Amino acid sequence: MIAALAFYVFAAILIASAVMVVTARNPVHSVLYLILAFFNAAALFLIAGAEFLAMILVIVYVGAVAVLFLFVVMMLDIDFVQMKEGFQRYLPIGAIVGGMLFLELLFVYGAWQFADDAQGLRMHPNPADVATNTQAIGRILYTDYIFLFQASGLILLVAMIGAIVLTLREKPANSRRQNIAVQVARAHAVTMKDVPKRAGLAELGGIIRRPLPAAKKPKAVAHDDHGHGHGHDDQHGGGHH
């Protein structure tokens, strides 16, 4: 009774948080709802007896992936208004793709059939020669489904490269870039000085600062004395005449 009640509570919170991930306007709130959904999914895995998958959800997805999403959304200067401008233009294509996915889900649900021994497997999920479900998952994953596992890894790699390409923006030509050679190079000679232990500023002669470069002297302005002199003489001579 308690397990069934806990299942319905965690399942309801999981569905509500999943809906909020899609409908929330703020991307930071969407990531927080995603973290809440991961925690509730981990609780459902614990109820089902798959503690390994529950720990994977908490450690890997909540501890790394979701937190990484949160920091990326908060730190990157993404113009979400500009990203939503093409929503109306791509709405018909998105509706077609969504309809196809919905039809595929209906087809899978209609063709789904439970195995005859499903009830017995639910009561005893681990094989007889396997002690824990972690060992059982590893045996099935890396023997029967190894190619599908590797294909999913390649799909995630392609998705990561696509996300990097979509978010990579060219820097303007006048942006300042880091120059390691100039940063590491010594522009002035460095003098090593032996400082005694526990020496105060009074013993060291105050704070030692690097001398500032000497200020350039202003250039002297040359006066045209000859021109003034001739003008004065002309005026003086004119007085004599």
155: pLDDT strictly greater than 90 = yes
> What CATH architecture does domain 2-126 belong to?
Up-down Bundle (1.20)
Q: How confident is the model at residue 235 (pLDDT cuts 50, 70, 90)?
A: very low
Q: In the block, which residue shows the tokens 């000497």?
A: 214
Model confidence at 228: pLDDT above 60 = no
51-55, 135-139, 166-170, range with the lowest pLDDT: 166-170
Quick: pLDDT tens for 207-222: 666 666 666 666 666 6
Mean pLDDT of 24-36: 84
Please report which confidence band the pLDDT of residue 202 belongs to, taking 50, 70 and 90 as the band edges: low
When pLDDT is cut at 50, 70 and 90, the band that residue 110 belongs to is: confident
Mean pLDDT of all residues in 176-200 = 70
User: What average pLDDT is seen over the chain?
Assistant: 77
Q: Model confidence over 56-107: pLDDT tens digits?
A: 888 888 877 777 777 777 766 666 666 667 677 788 888 999 999 999 999 9
Tell the residue number behind the tokens 């005026």, with chain if given: 235
Residue 49 CA to residue 42 CA, distance in Å, equals 11
Neighbouring residues of 104: CB distance < 8 A, sequence distance ≥ 6: none
Q: Residue 93 is encoded by which pair of tokens?
A: 């294509």
CA 47 – CA 43 distance, rounded (Å): 6
Instruction: Determine the length of the chain.
Output: 241
Q: How far is CA 34 from the centre of its chain?
A: 16
| 215 vs 47: which has the higher pLDDT | 47
